[in-house]
Amino acid sequence: MTKKKASTDELITAIIKGIEEVKGNDIQLFDLRDIENTVTDYFVISTGNSNTQVNAISQSVQKIVSKELKDKPWHVEGEGNAEWVLMDYVNVVVHIFQKHVREFYDIESLWGDAKITSISTAN
pLDDT in tens, 3-44: 456 699 999 999 999 999 999 999 999 999 999 888 899 999
Between CA 123 and CA 106 the distance in angstroms is 23
pLDDT of amino acid 5:
62
Query: What's the angle, vertex CA 107, arms to CA 33 and CA 100, rounded to 5?
Result: 150
Ordered domains of the chain (ranges, CATH): 8-119 (3.30.460.10)
Close Cβ partners of 23 (under 8 Å, ≥ 6 residues apart)? 53, 121, 123
pLDDT of amino acid 122:
61
pLDDT of amino acid 1:
42
pLDDT of amino acid 4:
53
Q: By the 8 A CB rule, do 49 and 98 touch?
A: yes
Question: What pLDDT digit, counting tens, does each position of 90-122 carry?
Answer: 999 999 999 999 999 998 888 888 999 999 876
Question: What pLDDT digit, counting tens, does each position of 51-76 carry?
Answer: 999 999 999 999 999 999 999 999 99
The closest of 61, 57, 73, 71 to 24, measured between CA atoms, is 57
